[in-house]
Amino acid sequence: MAKRHWTPIDRYLTDLLVAPDPALDEALAASAEAGLPPINVSPNQGKLLHLLAQAVNARRILEIGTLGGYSAIWLARALPPGGQLVTLEADPRHAEIARANLRRAGLTEFAEVRVGRALETLPELAAEGGDPFDFAFIDADKEHTTDYFDWAVRLSRPGGLIVVDNVVRGGAVVDAARDDADVRGVRRFLEGLAAEPRVTATAIQTVGSKGHDGFAIARVLGP
């Protein structure tokens, strides 16, 4: 059982349950054309994010790690009229491609791509004092996941949902021989999550066209 087995199953489920969307296909094609790494969420994962955002009636969504805007399109499509996605991206080239992809998807007025390292743009966002976020998706460098999660909690409303990508990394998270900054970052995040009184949380392994990985999902509690 491995990726070669999981990928046709993802295709089967996606063909049945995820309606074709030319804007999403074009976003992936333009991202590949520009040489971006294919580390976007899969279509059925994108739709899961979309459904979760809708389930909490998200009007304001925060994303950390835009890449070419594939997950951003899924998230922005979950918003009601007047809703807003703020998505943070360190690499100006990625941000430019994401803006073009969001524009092609007709989502310019729903999505703002902010360029800069998230540890710099998150305090700026907080200082602006906008309305709290209803939903957050954390998917940037794994080293700083703990800090991104802390910001997401601070910027969320009670009842808000926070999803964190790549918390399993093919099992590296429990492999004692793996000790790189990414894996250490994920472990530190999960251990902190276990001790975090401001949320209730779980984590789930996933398999599919993106291999073996996982999501952590946290609900922000009241004050």
Binding mask 59-98 for ligand SAH (x = CB under 6 A): ------xxx--xx----------------xxxx--x----
Binding mask 154-193 for ligand SAH (x = CB under 6 A): ----------------------------------------
Binding mask 26-55 for ligand DHB (x = CB under 6 A): -------------x----------------
Q: What is the DSSP letter of 115?
A: E
Within 10 A of 177 (CB to CB), how many other CB atoms are there? 6
- Residues 137-173 as b or e (16 or more Cβ within 10 Å = b): bbbbbbbbbbbbbbbbbebbbeebbbbbbbbbbeebb
45 phi, psi to nearest 5 deg: -70, -40
Task: State the number of CA atoms in the 13 A half-sphere of 9 facing the CB.
Answer: 11
Binding mask 153-192 for ligand DHB (x = CB under 6 A): ------------xx--------------------------
Give the residue with the Cβ less far from ligand DHB, 83 or 164: 164
In the beta sheet, which residues pair with residue 60?
84
CB of 136 within 8 A of CB of 63?
yes
Give the residue with the Cβ less far from ligand SAH, 65 or 185: 65
CB of 191 within 8 A of CB of 165?
no
| Residue corresponding to tokens 């902010």 | 114
Q: Does the protein bind ligand DHB through residue 147 (CB under 6 A)?
A: no
Q: Residue 70 binds which one of ligand DHB, Mg ion, ligand SAH, none, with CB within 5 to 8 A depending on kind?
A: ligand SAH
What the block records as the tokens of 181 is: 């900054």
Residues at the interface with ligand DHB (CB under 6 A): 39, 139, 165-166
Contacts to ligand SAH by CB under 6 A: 39-41, 65-67, 70-71, 88-91, 94, 117-118, 139-141
